[in-house]
């Protein structure tokens, strides 16, 4: 196999179990938790490491920001033999119950992005594989991390449809932005990210497994409801936030691997 055009990997470079952070700089940090790790490729926004975590073959590839580059990475990883995808990233709390530092396990996503519409009509739901969700819940409980399970608002434009008045350049704002956040809360959407829908939709239509979990790093509601404005200084990537994210991501996909091994063993006994 020739290397894939964007991620520069072949079928010899990619494990069946794949973690998908957005930030390329996070990939080597994740790989530090493994028993074995080797650098594979670095091209555009896609950095890839492959190795072994507690006996499980594992790959970590960064997707960059948003669903378009996430879909490209998934297309090419799937061609290289990837079978299970877990997005691991950061999110902004929309539900009042979601606070910075909390883990958010997405079982579904509102498709406010455009990439997945190039694959399937909007009536096709974005849902995580139940095995991925169950493994993430089991892992969060075992690690003693505060977590929530629910729906993501997955969107392409970072600076649009926000509660604060001056988020977009030159004061650009349309009337529907005034109600977008409150409408999401009424729909019980718990947090927002920019990649989960692509992982869910593409893995489902490809006949693979996919899901998403994030650590909350800020709240879209707190400052706005208190009469202030959201500022990027409120985003917290420090402390244990990213460490907890990296740990629960590796352990969640490892739990999927263990469940697969148990299933294979039982089937082999029949």
The number of domains in the chain is 1
Tokens found for residue 194: 């920019």
Q: Tell me the residue range of the domain where 121 lies.
A: 17-263
The answer to whether residue 58 sits within a structural domain is yes
Asked whether residue 2 is domain-assigned, the answer is no
Q: What is the CATH number of the domain that holds 201?
A: 3.40.50.1580
* SS3 assignment, position 56: strand
Q: How many CA atoms lie less than 13 Å away from 38 in the CB half-sphere?
A: 9
User: Using one digit for the tens of pLDDT, what is the confidence trace for 58-110?
Assistant: 999 999 999 999 999 999 999 999 999 999 999 999 999 999 999 999 999 99
**What stretches of the chain adopt beta strand conformation (E)?**
17-20, 36-43, 46-53, 56-61, 84-93, 103-112, 126-127, 147-155, 189-193, 209-219
Q: What pLDDT digit, counting tens, does each position of 212-250 carry? A: 999 999 988 875 666 556 666 678 777 799 999 999 999
Residue 270 domain-assigned? no
Domain assignment present for residue 68? The answer is yes
Is 209 inside a domain boundary? yes
Q: Quote the CA–CA distance of 44 and 231 in Å, as a whole number.
A: 29
Q: What is the pTM of this model?
A: 0.95
In a domain, residue 11? The reply is no
């Amino acid at each position: 196999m020739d290397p894939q055009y964007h991620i520069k990997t072949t079928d010899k470079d990619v494990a069946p179990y794949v973690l998908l952070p957005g930030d390329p700089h996070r990939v080597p940090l994740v790989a530090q938790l493994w028993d074995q790790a080797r650098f594979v490729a670095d091209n555009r926004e896609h950095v890839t490491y492959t190795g072994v975590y507690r006996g499980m073959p594992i790959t970590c590839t960064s997707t960059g920001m948003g669903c378009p580059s996430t879909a490209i990475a998934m297309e090419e990883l799937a061609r290289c033999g990837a079978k299970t995808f877990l997005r691991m990233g950061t999110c902004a709390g929309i539900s009042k119950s979601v606070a910075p530092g909390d883990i958010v396990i997405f079982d579904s996503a509102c498709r406010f992005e455009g990439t997945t519409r190039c694959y399937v009509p909007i009536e096709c739901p974005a849902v995580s594989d139940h095995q991925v969700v169950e493994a993430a819940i089991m892992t969060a409980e075992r690690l003693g991390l505060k977590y929530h399970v629910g729906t993501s608002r997955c969107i392409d434009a970072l600076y649009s449809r926000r509660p604060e008045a001056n988020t977009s350049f030159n004061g650009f704002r349309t009337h529907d932005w005034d109600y977008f956040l409150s409408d999401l809360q009424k729909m019980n959407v718990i947090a927002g990210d920019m990649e989960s829908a692509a992982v869910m939709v593409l893995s489902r239509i490809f006949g693979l497994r996919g899901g998403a979990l994030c650590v909350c790093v800020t709240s879209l509601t707190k400052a706005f409801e208190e009469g202030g404005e959201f500022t990027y200084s409120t985003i917290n990537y420090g402390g244990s936030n990213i460490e907890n994210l990296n740990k629960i991501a590796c352990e969640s996909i490892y739990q999927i691997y263990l469940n697969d091994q148990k299933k294979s063993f039982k089937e082999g006994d029949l």
